[in-house]
Chain A
Amino acid sequence: MTVEEKQLETTRRPEPGDAPAVIAPGQTFGAVTAQISSVPLLRRTIPPLWYIAVAIGLALVLIFLVTVSYLFGTGVGILGLQIPVAWGYPITTFVWWIGIGHAGTLISAFLLLLNQPWRSSINRFAEAMTIFAVICAGMFPILHLGRPWVAYWILPYPNTMTIQPQFRSPLVWDVFAVSTYFTVSLLFWYLGMIPDLATLRDQSKNRFSYAFYGILSWGWRGASRHWRLHETASLLLAGLATPLVLSVHTVVSFDFTIAILPGWHSTIFPPYFVAGAIYSGFAMVLVLMLPIRAAFGLDNLITERHINNCAKLMLTTGLILAYTYAIEPFTAWYSGDQFEIALVHNRAFGPHAWTYWGVILCNVLIPQLLWIRRFRVRTKPLFAISVVILYGMWLERYMIIITSLHRDFLPSAWANFIATVWDNFLVFGSIGVFIVLFALFVRFLPMISMYEVRELLPFSRPGGGSEK
């Protein structure tokens, strides 16, 4: 009996009464390597869905490029932006994208610290999602500037104008928070990928991919002393990323709360924003995970347990969000402040009332279906619910920004907000950028962490059992 046969034998004996396995039975070390590395290394394993996604993504990128060219050439007047609604679609979409990134860090960092082994087969592409979402987010504050070519003035650097940024402004904090978040996420993602890139180097069939993955893997050879350092560095980065991810959307919410506008000037905003961010992030994880799992046949590595757990976490964060929706009108009423009360009334019954009720429907009512197990484990309804939540979360940010800005204290300063077609092109264009980046990641990098999946196999620990 060869070792492979012995390993198969071990995995085929699920113990009675066990929870659904994290990894389906019937895997060996070699099978895991072959299955995951075949996607970046062999062209023929790419399913048609990938080409369709790239085609749609590139079409949207084209729209994005045309819109951005027109925007930079003509000015922000082509969008619905005006005074008083100077934030409009770009900042709505910025907050939406940055929030989506949060679930990736949650899966990779929180769950690593909490020692949850099921994260192993989904953390890699959840982290990739974070990075691409932050890239999409980062474009929007620049796109909504009247003079985008001087965006770098917000950075503190010695300059001949002898001016400096104002550190008492949350907008400056935001620049530091988002750029730190991007850098740390990128380092964490890349650090985890180095051993797998070495596997791709060792499995590569031609000189080009050997050189490509060889350079990216820095000469990793799996030495046990290096594994020890790698593990320490991963844990340290997870420990650093955990408070960071909470701080990022907190700082984004400071952009709102530190202003005195009714509806923004509220202490509940930081937890409200963080919960909403994680909520939309899990929806995006599922929207990406379910088609990829089906198209690449990853059912054995991404099992029902992963999908169920993601859906449960989505439901949990959704309930936190529902609580804040309920507490907002209460705070307004309890404060007795006429502007706050007027705002709540305006949100629910004013010209943008459809967004308020849309948010309640998409983020509170429809997700209650997740209490039923069938909706958590069947992929099609879960996919549909996730798309609804993503739309609902975008709508929520729209509601927060538009309704507070368009009617503040002085009725003579009120104005309505009407988005233009270019606003919509920008949003959908950024989705195209995201799709293309993600498709490239799936095609050229190991989308599931091979070494962490090996650790999950029941014979990975010397003497039997799994390392994790």
Chain B
Amino acid sequence: MTRLYGVVAEFDDPQPLVDAARLLHERGFRDVEAYTPYPVRQLDEYIPARRNLPLLVLVAGILGTLTAWIMQFYIAVIDYPTNIGGRPLNSWPSFIVIMFELTILFASVAAFFGMLGLCGFPLPHHPMFNTRGFENASNNRFFLCVEARDPLFDAEKVADLLSQMDPVEVKEVEEE
């Protein structure tokens, strides 16, 4: 026997989706997730996301600056000093360009892979993909899922609640 992943409501308009998300939030549900074909900003209030990506990017950027500075200082002063017209070995103003470039490089790589990591990707299989008609979540339909792990979860009550919100369909989704 397969376990229940959650109860899903399918909408064809963003308005009832946001209303339903607000209602569930007011009733105290927290393991709720919406699946939409484009970012719907009003959902952020009811389905709060993790916000630690900017910090990660900042740390990576600083790391990039330091890497570039240490690398150039080590090579130009310690490992392979060259005398060019008697200029100082530690000509730090000419190191600035590469310090800038590596700051951007490290921060960008962190932004990209940090986002994928915080999303839990790569994840080719997810219970939501078992939902009938879920291929339209990336096209023209809006899905709202109350997950079974929510402490307040009760399949019938949640289904009743969602049915009142003008969905196209309410369905149960299983883990396998």
B138 contacts A462, CB within 8 Å? Answer: no
B135 contacts A203, CB within 8 Å? Answer: yes
B98 contacts A187, CB within 8 Å? Answer: no
Residue of B nearest to A200 (CB): B138
B66 within 8 A of partner (CB)? no
User: Which of B19, B36, B44, B112 is in CB contact (< 8 Å) with A233?
Assistant: B112
**8 Å CB contacts to A: which residues of B23-77?**
33-44, 47, 49-51, 53-54, 57, 71-72, 75-76
A176 within 8 A of partner (CB)? yes
B79 within 8 A of partner (CB)? yes
Q: What separation, in Å, do the CA atoms of A170 and B33 have in the docked complex?
A: 51
A229 contacts B50, CB within 8 Å? Answer: yes
A228 contacts B49, CB within 8 Å? Answer: yes
Chain A positions 226 through 265: 1 when the CB is less than 8 Å from some CB of chain B, otherwise 0: 1111111100110011011001000100100000000000
A230 contacts B39, CB within 8 Å? Answer: yes
Q: Which residues of B contact A371 (CB under 8 A)?
A: none
B18 within 8 A of partner (CB)? yes
Q: What separation, in Å, do the CA atoms of A236 and B58 have in the docked complex?
A: 10
Q: Name the residue in A162, A219, A462 with the highest tally of chain B Cβ atoms < 10 Å from its Cβ.
A: A462
Residue of B nearest to A2 (CB): B12
Q: What separation, in Å, do the CA atoms of A218 and B80 have in the docked complex?
A: 44
Interface of chain A, main secondary structure:
helix
A52 within 8 A of partner (CB)? no
A229 contacts B53, CB within 8 Å? Answer: yes
A69 within 8 A of partner (CB)? no
Question: Chain A's nearest CB lies how many Å from the CB of B174?
Answer: 16
Q: Which residues of B contact A202 (CB under 8 A)?
A: 134-139
Q: Name the residue in B17, B100, B123 with the highest tally of chain A Cβ atoms < 10 Å from its Cβ.
A: B100
A187 contacts B109, CB within 8 Å? Answer: yes
A167 contacts B94, CB within 8 Å? Answer: yes
B139 contacts A199, CB within 8 Å? Answer: yes
Q: Which residues of A contact B49 (CB under 8 A)?
A: 224-225, 228-229
Q: Which residues of B contact A451 (CB under 8 A)?
A: 37-39
Q: What separation, in Å, do the CA atoms of A214 and B124 have in the docked complex?
A: 7
Q: What separation, in Å, do the CA atoms of A173 and B97 have in the docked complex?
A: 6
B40 contacts A462, CB within 8 Å? Answer: yes
Q: Which residues of A contact B3 (CB under 8 A)?
A: none
Q: Which residues of A contact B107 (CB under 8 A)?
A: 236, 240
Chain A positions 144 through 188: 1 when the CB is less than 8 Å from some CB of chain B, otherwise 0: 000000000000100000111111101011001100100110011
B101 contacts A223, CB within 8 Å? Answer: no
**8 Å CB contacts to B: which residues of A427-460?**
451-452, 454-455, 459-460
Residue of A nearest to B36 (CB): A222
B126 within 8 A of partner (CB)? yes
* A166-B84, A184-B108, A236-B53 known; A222 vs B138 contact (CB < 8 Å): yes
B50 contacts A225, CB within 8 Å? Answer: yes
B157 within 8 A of partner (CB)? no
Q: Which residues of A contact B33 (CB under 8 A)?
A: 223-225
Where the two chains meet, the residues of A that have a C-beta atom closer than 8 Å to any C-beta of B are 3, 28-30, 33, 156, 162-168, 170, 172-173, 176-177, 180, 183-184, 187-188, 190-191, 195, 198-199, 201-203, 214-215, 218-233, 236-237, 240-241, 243-244, 247, 251, 254, 451-452, 454-455, 459-463, 467
Closest 3 CB pairs of A and B: A228-B49, A29-B140, A202-B135
